[in-house]
Chain A
Amino acid sequence: MILTDKPGQQTSKEMDRENSKFEMSSLTAGVIKSVNKKKTIMRKAFILLLGLALYTTSCTFDDQVDPNAPSLNSVLSNASLQELNLLVTGTEAAMRNGFGTFCTSSGSIAREFYKFDADPRNTEDLLGKNGTQLDNNTFYLTAPYNTRYRVVKNCNILLEAVDNTDQVTAAEKDGYRGFANTVKAHMLLQVLSMLDDNGIRIDVADPENIGPFVAEGQAYNDILALLDLGFSQLSGASFAFSLSSGFDGFNTPSSFGQYNRAISAKTALYAEQWDEVTKVINTTFMDLGGPLDVGPKHVFSNSSGDIQNPLFKAAGQSGDQLVVHNDFINNATAGDARLSKFRARINTPSQDDLNGTHETALFATSTSSIDLIRNEELILIYAEASMQNGDLTEAVNAINVIRNAAGIGDYAGTVDKDSLIDELLYQRSYSLWGEGHRMFDMRRYGRLNSNFLPIDRAGDIIHTKFPVPLTEG
């Protein structure tokens, strides 16, 4: 019998029936079997591929969410009270980052101390060894610069979040704004002191449209305006957030406002706007009769996630130390209580052809606090403004408060402006030693040069400002 193969016209079942009906040689059966097998295989293959196609189109990936941290966008729209408070705490915490390098970089330049550690640039670049200029892409500039601006960014995020939420009252919103603008201005002041007549960027809220570099004079005015804005926001505000124990006594809108005014006085001083200083100083917490150490502070601890005081150095460790410049020891007044900031070194290994007999004892432990601005500094600001405004008697009064607290008795020198300036700078150098003031004090009076500061190694130079960072383009 002839076997007709009609592919597609018979089901495999029918074909099987047909196959069993007829007797045939094993050969033809083999041919038929292989044909059938091929068909079932092709069918199976087709089903497999179909299944594959269905599977591939149904395999979708979810939108990605960061499993490790909250996203910025989540706080920028309808932020909750808790989120706003987390931004405040983060901002306060971040003010401390990089501040250590701010002090050690400016302090090295001002010859307050030498930083002995493994990085040679602390005693080379910063001291202008063999005429080396400051590099615009190195840690002594980028660490303080980047960290200050990170705080500024955090403040701008807080301001934007506050504008876009309805979870807090209007008074509370002003509280956040007052906090943010004050801290922002304080950070910009620190950057401006470093960059000096290079100017700084003030408006940095939008990373796509970053504001231009503003000239020094204008920058000071912008910072003062920002502080005034913050101050006006603070009056009538209420604080829905809490600050660390460093702000004890300064954590209500009115007391925080005094901190705002203190920074304003300091800014006006750096800008040499003496009238402004005198106007503002009385709204700060300056108290000629009160304790000198009153003021808001950076606190440090060993709690989880917290940092230690970056300016604390363990006694006797020459591998990582701030070695006091010998001039401070040699020019000290006998019996000055402020000499307790210096500790005699037991071993005196040198580094890079430099040496000193004493090391820093400014902070007692790794969790000692650092003042943001204290009464002592305000009194000195008051003294300086008085001198510049011609009120020499008041200036002497203020200086005497400082001198008597240090146990060296009243001022007995000539009472004229130039002598008093010398006395002021001398007192500032010991009262505010190692806290990031001297470089700017000396520069303010044209003394940041080799006529007034020591050259320890032939070829060293004195820098007067930091360059604009390379990343600023």
Chain B
Amino acid sequence: MLVALLFISLQANAQFQVSGTVSDEAGETLIGVSILVKGTTRGTISDIDGNYTIDVPGSSAVLEFSYTGFKTETVEVSPSNTTLNVTLSEDITNLAEVVVTGLASTIKRSNLANAVSKVSGTELTGVTTQSSVDGALYGKLTGVNIVQSNGAPGGGIAVRLRGVSSLSGNNQPLIILDGVYITNAEIPSGSRFASGANSGTEEGSSNRIADINPADIESIEVLKGASAAAIYGTRANAGVIIITTKKGVAGKTRVTLSQDIGFNTIQNKVGRRSLDSEAEVAEVYPNDPDAPAQWAAARAAGRLFDYEDEIYGETGLISDTRLNVSGGNDKTKYFISGAYRTEDGIIKNTGYDRFTTRMNIDHKISDKLTISTTSNYVRSDASRSFTGNENEGGLSYGYTLAFTRDYVDLFPDENGVYPNNPNYAGNPIFVRDQAKNEESNNRFIQGVKLDWQALQKDNQVLRFTLNGGLDFLFNQTNVYVPETHQAQVGLDNGFIGVGKNTIFNYNYQLFGSYDYYTDGGLSFSTQAGISYLSFDRDFVLNQTTQLIPLQTNLTQGGTQEISQRLETEQEFGFIAQEQINWDDKLIATVGVRFDKSSLNGDPNKYYAFPRASLAANIANFDFWNSTDISQFKLRVAYGETGNSASFGSLFTSLSPNNINGAPGFVIRSQQGNPDLIPETSSELEFGTDLSLFDNKLGIELTYYIRNVKDLLYNRSLPSSSGFTNEIRNDLDLENTGLELGLTINPVRTSNFDWVTNVNFWFNNSEITLLGTPGNGTDAADIPSFVPPGVAFGLGLGSFYINEGTPITALWGRDANGNPTITGDTEPDFQLGWYNQFKIGKRVDFNFLTHWKQGGDVLNLSRLLTDIGGVTPENLLDLEGFIEDASYFRLREVGLYYTLPFESDYIENIRFGVSGRNLITLTDYSSYDPETSTKGGTGLSTGIEVTPFPSSRQLYFHVNFNF
């Protein structure tokens, strides 16, 4: 018995200590390197001097040194070598990088079975200053089609991951910021009631993702397809974007102050018809006998104008100031940031201001319990004026400029009175100077995470994580059209629209995870948990018309109208996942999420979203002895995600229709469906990852097949039924595509380092089922139809839902009047090329180009300028309005110089010059080949109607590190 006791004590005593320093190839020590005893849970990280000490159990073990951006080193240790200094070499393929896999766990990139794109903070904002997060992602990821809806300051971008996945309005990915599900709504301002636009989506609203300060971001992970995003269940059809903000690092307090000064100018002017003689004027306006004489008089008086330049020709000033303070000790770490960005647009009186503050704190309450909080307050204001579609409101610049003639004087006289525009319903100079379309946002995002390491032994860890957060947004919109506007006189006599919109989201997740390591190199990770989401929206729009002259207050008008829209959504799910890892050689994952949503016909029915994946690291097997190829992974993954109908789809309701002050009901034109089920996307993904030549070449190749079943769509009903559309579930869509990423480090010397990233991808879609199989022959089948509200009629060109053809195709009519395909808004392929050069120790030069080949746009702006007679001569002989919108863009370019400053206060100063969208090569005839007149929802991209022109930016930077 005593022997047994001694035995126990000897076993418990058998461990030794290893210590040393970790540095890189240049001899600089590395802070925060993770050192793990392989096959156990025991680990430590290197301190601020690069030193580490670790207790190793047993009499020998393998230590694993890993650090993002560097190749993982494994070293055998035994009690005889207790001092171990390690040098890590750079790894541009980032195999050691850690990536999110479940909701509460992470995995090394080298073991990952899905294609998950990760963009680091330096890649995001390192080349040039970015105005918003979604705009910063161009060209840096494969498989994503990012299209800016319009160039108005404050953003407005549609992000499509692996093709169109939904028609019901939510094609935008789910966005999670530090564990908080945040809103990326596009909130209309109500300007359509003044301009006559058809719907809120035509107002060119900004997307609330613009509130996030890109400089706060540590990394963005994009889970592109169902196989990666399945664990997020019923909101994840369009993919998931996981944003992690910067956290404090223990050690000396770091202070960074950055200042950018920049200029905003129009990217591409279309130009206007130049009128050079009276004869030419008579030719352009043959039924206006007075026109040539008016033109001649204007020329004689020197009052010929270029109204396009007048309106769009401003040079806007941009200033972006950022201050970060971060630091901490081994118990508490903090990151505090404050930033203020102000940007003037290319149209006078437009602009965007954003003020953000952030505080991230991580605190170790005890050895086992840590708490992290992230708090972010944002105040942003935008003035976007009037662009986009309208119906005789006389407000949208694209419309007014299309009909305005350059020989007519529209400037105010000495009394400040603006003349009426004789050729259109509004004077653009008047609208620019006197009308307003503004919004302001106050937003607070708070996340909290509590992590309890319940059990930690050598070969097992049990952890519980509780995280939650809230996103509170208060948005106010303000639209003002004076009563003196020529389209208002005698009709509405002025318009004030004030919107007060509140969105409150909160979510929490509770997870338990258990990791178990066996001696044979097999490890098991089990996760189970619950997740709850609640979204609440309250939109109130107040309108006043018949204004008292010169008044801008809602009270000061004869007619007032209020409308309110309430929406609530709740979701609840439970999740389980099991991952089995055999010695980093084979990694298998299987998991399922059961979700229910109040948006479905049966709010308490659970829908299952399973996933499974297998990754094989061939290069880790013993038989592999190629030194050139250090990683060769084959992977296959399958997953299912869902998307529920948008709020209100379940209901068939009556809407108010009043006469003479008396209220009445009339049937609402959308027929609801109380039996809706979520649409499900199931995806199969195959891929391979290779790392060759000492990690100087990385290749990532993925092929995916994505089937969306039971797609929710608005079908046009025979309007004689009284309804114009109904929501149905019987549409299936397939997206297939290829993604290829190459990372190459061709030159790596101490004086010159060049890393280049090439991303190539394409996607194709096909409607595989509409109604019942077979095309319209069965009586119960659904015939092909034009989806309501996506365009302006098949005559001009529209999307068309038809079995066997791509969902992104544009259709028109053939000679016999039958619908026929006339174009496709899906690009043939996209290529992003990103280069980083380090010259000497001080100079950085980076640039990113983006080539989109194919993808058509229906250019209805040119339809308008043709009628108005202002289309420039070189565009007059273009056939039809569907144009090839291929482009090659120099998206970002930056040159920086770091000046070291060996002083107590300043560590270094960095100067730079950079630009965004400086060069665009395209045959497209209008302002920007990237355009969407219906915002970021549904099938929107690819139709242009007089957008706010896009701009290019040039910046000068100075950055102090203290």
Contact = CB atoms under 8 A, between A and B. Distances in A.
A335 interface: no
A35 B779 CA distance: 70
A299 B661 contact: no
A156 B658 CA distance: 19
B8 interface: yes
A120 B648 contact: no
Contact of B9 (A25, A41, A62, A469): A25
Contacts, number: 296
A343 interface: no
A459 interface: no
B664 A68 contact: no
Interface stretch (B59-67, B85-93, B417-425): B417-425
A149 interface: yes
Interface of B: 1, 5, 8-9, 12, 285-288, 290-291, 390-392, 394, 399, 402-403, 420-426, 454-455, 462, 464, 486-487, 489-492, 510, 512, 528, 530, 532, 545-546, 558-562, 564-568, 570, 572, 574, 596, 598, 603-604, 648, 650-669, 671, 716-724, 726, 783, 785-786, 793-795, 798, 813, 817, 863-864, 867
Given A64-B598, A304-B559, A317-B486, A149 B720 contact: yes
Interface string A370-406: 0000000000000000000000000000000000000
B661 A471 contact: no
Given A90-B665, A207-B726, A314-B491, 20 more contacts: A25-B5, A45-B464, A61-B596, A62-B603, A68-B566, A69-B653, A86-B663, A86-B664, A86-B665, A118-B391, A118-B399, A133-B817, A135-B795, A149-B722, A200-B720, A201-B718, A303-B559, A350-B285, A470-B794, A471-B718
B722 A68 contact: no
B660 A318 contact: no
Interface stretch (A10-18, A70-78, A409-417): A70-78
Q: Name which of B287, B288, B290, B570 has the most chain A CB atoms within 10 A of its CB.
A: B287
Contacts of A94: 657, 664, 666
Contact of A207 (B390, B422, B426, B721): B721
A352 B422 CA distance: 15
14 contacts: A52-B510, A56-B572, A59-B572, A68-B565, A89-B664, A90-B656, A117-B392, A137-B793, A304-B561, A305-B663, A319-B392, A348-B288, A349-B423, A365-B490
A2 B5 CA distance: 9
B21 to A, nearest CB: 32
Contacts of B570: 61
B198 to A, nearest CB: 10
B462 A41 contact: yes
Contacts of B561: 304-305
A471 B510 contact: no
Interface string A119-134: 1110001000000010
Contacts of B464: 45, 48
The 5 closest A-B pairs by CB, nearest first: A153-B722, A90-B664, A89-B664, A350-B287, A319-B425
A245 interface: yes
Nearest to B489: A314
Interface stretch (A138-146, A162-170, A220-228, A252-260): A138-146
A302 interface: yes
Contacts of A41: 454-455, 462
Interface string A15-53: 000000000010110110000001001101100110010
A262 B726 CA distance: 36
A210 interface: yes
Given A28-B5, A67-B566, A210-B718, A38 B662 contact: no
Contact of B667 (A52, A59, A68, A153): A153
Contacts of B726: 207
Given A94-B666, A204-B722, A317-B486, A301 B661 contact: yes
A233 B186 CA distance: 51
- What is the interface residue range for chain A against chain B? 35 or more
A174 interface: no
Contact of A471 (B454, B658, B660, B717): B717
Contacts of A316: 420
A468 to B, nearest CB: 10
B722 A207 contact: yes
Given A89-B662, A471-B718, A64 B650 contact: yes
Contacts of A91: 664, 666
A59 B573 CA distance: 10
A431 interface: no
Nearest to A89: B664
A251 interface: no
B46 to A, nearest CB: 29
Interface in A104-120: 117-120
A125 B423 contact: no
Interface in A200-234: 200-201, 204, 207, 210
B512 A355 contact: no
B425 A317 contact: yes
A149 B654 contact: no
Nearest to A356: B287
B661 A319 contact: no
A86 B668 CA distance: 14
Interface of A: 2, 25, 27-28, 30-31, 38, 41-42, 44-45, 48-49, 52, 55-56, 59-64, 66-73, 75, 83, 86-94, 96-97, 117-121, 125, 133, 135, 137-139, 142, 145-146, 149-154, 156-157, 200-201, 204, 207, 210, 242, 244-246, 299, 301-306, 308, 312, 314-320, 347-355, 365-366, 469-473
A127 to B, nearest CB: 14
B785 A471 contact: yes
B603 A52 contact: no
Nearest to A306: B658
B653 A135 contact: no
A349 B721 contact: no
A204 B721 contact: yes
A72 B667 contact: yes
B188 to A, nearest CB: 16
A70 B558 CA distance: 28
A137 B795 contact: yes
Contacts of B723: 153, 207
A469 B650 CA distance: 27
Nearest to B560: A304
Given A135-B795, A314-B490, A471-B719, A319 B564 contact: no
Contacts of A245: 660
Given A27-B12, A87-B664, A67 B657 contact: no
B719 A469 contact: yes
B284 to A, nearest CB: 11
Nearest to B660: A244
Contacts of A96: 659
A48 B559 contact: no
A139 B723 CA distance: 16
A153 B574 CA distance: 44
Contact of B724 (A138, A146, A157, A200): A146
A152 B783 CA distance: 25
Nearest to A145: B719
A318 B390 CA distance: 16
B487 A319 contact: yes
Contact of A154 (B490, B671, B722): B722
Nearest to A155: B722
B546 A69 contact: no
A380 B786 CA distance: 43
B664 A93 contact: yes
Q: Name which of B420, B492, B721 has the most chain A CB atoms within 10 A of its CB.
A: B721
A209 B598 CA distance: 30
Nearest to B570: A61
A139 B721 CA distance: 18
A119 B721 contact: no
Given A93-B666, A119-B391, A472-B718, A320 B487 contact: yes
A301 B658 CA distance: 10
A363 to B, nearest CB: 11
